[in-house]
Structure 1
Amino acid sequence: MTVDPLLEKALRGLAEHEQLLVGLDFDGVLAPFVAHPSEAVALPGTMAAVRDLVALQGVSVALVSGRARADLAERTGVPLDDEHLVLVGSHGAELALHPDDRGSGLDEPTRGRLAAVQVRLEAVAAEHPGAFVEHKPTAAVLHTRRLPPADAAMVTAAALATVAEVPGAHVTRGKEVVEVAVTEASKGAAISRLREHLGAEAVLYLGDDVTDETVFALLHDQDVGVKVGAGETAAAHRIADPVAVRELLQALPTLLSRQRPGG
Structure 2
Amino acid sequence: MLTTEMSSRFNNLEQMSVTAILEGINSEDMTVPLAVAKAIPQVEPLVTAIVKRMKQGGRLFYIGAGTSGRLGILDASECPPTFGVPHELVVGIIAGGDTAIRKAVEFAEDDAEQAVKDLAQFSLTDKDTVIGIAASGTTPYVIGGVTTLRKQGILTGCVTCNTGSPLAAAVEYPVEAEVGAEFLTGSTRMKAGTAQKLILNMISTTVMIQLGHVKGNKMVDMQLSNKKLISRAVKMVMTELAVDEETAKQLIKEKGSIRSAIESGKS
Asked whether the two chains share a fold, i.e. TM above 0.5, the reply is: no
> Which has the larger strand fraction?
1
Q: Rg larger in 1 or in 2?
A: 2
> Which has the larger helix fraction?
2
TM-score tier, shorter chain, comes to 0.3 to 0.5
